[in-house]
Amino acid sequence: MIFRQLFEPKSSAYTYLIGCEETGAAALIDPVLETVERDLDLLSDLGLTLEYTIETHIHADHVTGADRLRAATGATVAVPEQSGAANADLLVREGEPIQIGLLSLHPLHTPGHTADHHCYLLEAPSAARLFTGDALLIEGCGRTDFQNGDAATLYRSVHEKLFSLPEETLVYPGHDYQQRRVSSIGQEKARNPRLGGGKTLAEFVSIMAALNLPNPKMMDVAVPANLECGEID
């Protein structure tokens, strides 16, 4: 497998490139509009063909690069079914793996940050990799106060679907604001100050209710654009 973790500093967003060495097929999880040329150059350098762009959810803090990448490569744009996004080529559903050459990416519906949120599990001989979007961050999680988010729902998503995975499963988040790159299910179960360490549902709901965060600066632009797979008039 070919794997790259890519960073966009304005939104502190990670994009993940997954490539199949045997077939040359590749996918990008959560591409960002501002880094499309970087991603195309990397695909070319690695000799990979972009077959999919895959969204974890409808982002409020950046515009996806999906539509521009599709125009450049013919890639299939995959978006969670619950998002209601227009112009998607593939509606992501739990239980329906996305095949990237010989690699299988398994969607897990993990609502709570947003109603449509999915994480993606990629099994590997050494340790599985879990791409968690904004549902589970390194020692944190995404907010739950807009886009049909709900704290109790996020708590159940993480505890029932993510924390039930093997502890050695690697956690690759959608964002990090402190230059951290990877965690594990075992570490987040033990140390995540919001969701781990035995935190109860009531404690988590109370923590999230007290955040009082401003809306993302890009929200009024990003959400409408992302509901069109990144198309901008």
Question: Once rounded to an integer, what is the mean pLDDT over residues 155-171?
Answer: 98
230 part of a folded domain: no
Total domains present in the chain: 1
Q: Are residues 86 and 66 in contact, defined by beta-carbon separation less than 8 angstroms? A: no
Strands 90-92 and 25-29: unpaired
Q: Are residues 19 and 29 in contact, defined by beta-carbon separation less than 8 angstroms? A: no
225 part of a folded domain: no
221 part of a folded domain: no
pLDDT of residue 231: 75
232 part of a folded domain: no
Task: With H, G, I as helix, E, B as strand and everything else as coil, classify residue 155.
Answer: helix
Model confidence over 108-158: pLDDT tens digits? 999 999 999 999 999 987 789 999 999 999 999 999 999 999 999 999 999
User: Tokens 């996305």 belong to which residue?
Assistant: 98
229 part of a folded domain: no
pLDDT of residue 97: 98
Model confidence over 84-98: pLDDT tens digits? 999 999 999 999 999
CA atoms of 147 and 222, how far apart (whole Å): 12
- Averaged pLDDT of the chain: 97
CA atoms of 170 and 178, how far apart (whole Å): 18
Q: Of the given ranges (22-36, 63-77, 123-137, 159-173), which has the lowest mean pLDDT?
A: 123-137
Tokens of 40: 């195309």
Q: Are residues 52 and 28 in contact, defined by beta-carbon separation less than 8 angstroms? A: yes
Residue 67: pLDDT band with limits 50, 70, 90 = very high
Strand ranges across the sheet with 13-19 = 2-8, 13-19, 25-29, 49-54, 76-80, 90-92
122 part of a folded domain: yes
Question: Once rounded to an integer, what is the mean pLDDT over residues 152-166?
Answer: 98
Provide, rounded to the nearest whole percent, the portion of the chain with pLDDT above 70: 99
> Which residues, other chains included, contact 129 with Cβ-Cβ below 8 Å and sequence gap of 6+?
3, 121, 122, 169, 170, 172
Termini Cα distance of the chain: 37
CA atoms of 196 and 173, how far apart (whole Å): 16
Number of alpha helices (DSSP H) and beta strands (DSSP E) in the chain: 6, 12
Q: How many Cα atoms sit within 13 Å of 142 on the Cβ side?
A: 38
Residue 233 has pLDDT above 70, yes or no: no
User: The CATH number of the domain where 23 resides is what?
Assistant: 3.60.15.10
134 part of a folded domain: yes
151 part of a folded domain: yes
Residue 65 has pLDDT above 70, yes or no: yes
Domain extent at residue 61: 2-214
Tokens of 89: 């080529």
In this structure, the number of other CB atoms found within 10 A of the CB of residue 161 comes to 18
Residue 16 has pLDDT above 70, yes or no: yes
SS3 string of 158-169? HHHHHCCCCCCC
